[in-house]
Amino acid sequence: MTDAPVTVEFEDYGSKGRYFIRGANGEVAESTFSKIGERQIIIDHTEVPDVFRGQGIGLKLVTRAVEDARAAGKTIIPLCPFAREQFRRHREWADVLKG
């Protein structure tokens, strides 16, 4: 990737969805989630291909999920090990963390 701004895209499939970033050659980094009712989501998987490694792409994906949850008054259950670790590191996200 270049130094160009990274755009995190969003897709909603009803009970599931994903945040994703497309690479220049079609690679996709994504963080998937499942919805529990109207007020909770579970981040269940984050995958970042090697081409994106070391660029903070996984963090960008989880950060976007946190921002969206906060804006919508939702909480997040981070089942994905990567997302769980990011919540541990970012205590300022405690308001959206489902304990």
How many Å apart are CA 63 and CA 3, to the nearest integer?
19
pLDDT at res. 3: 59
The pLDDT assigned to 24 comes to: 86
- pLDDT reported for residue 1: 43
**Confidence (pLDDT) at 4:** 65
Quote the pTM value: 0.92
* Chain segment 19-40, per-residue pLDDT in tens: 999 998 999 999 999 999 999 9
Domain 9-91 top-level CATH class: alpha beta
According to DSSP, the β-strands at 75-78 and 40-47 are parallel
Instruction: Answer yes or no: are the C-beta atoms of 33 and 72 closer than 8 Å.
Output: no
Residues of the chain with pLDDT under 50: 1
User: Would you list the domain boundaries of the chain?
Assistant: 9-91
CB 46 within 8 A of CB 80: yes
What tokens appear for 49 in the block? 């291909």
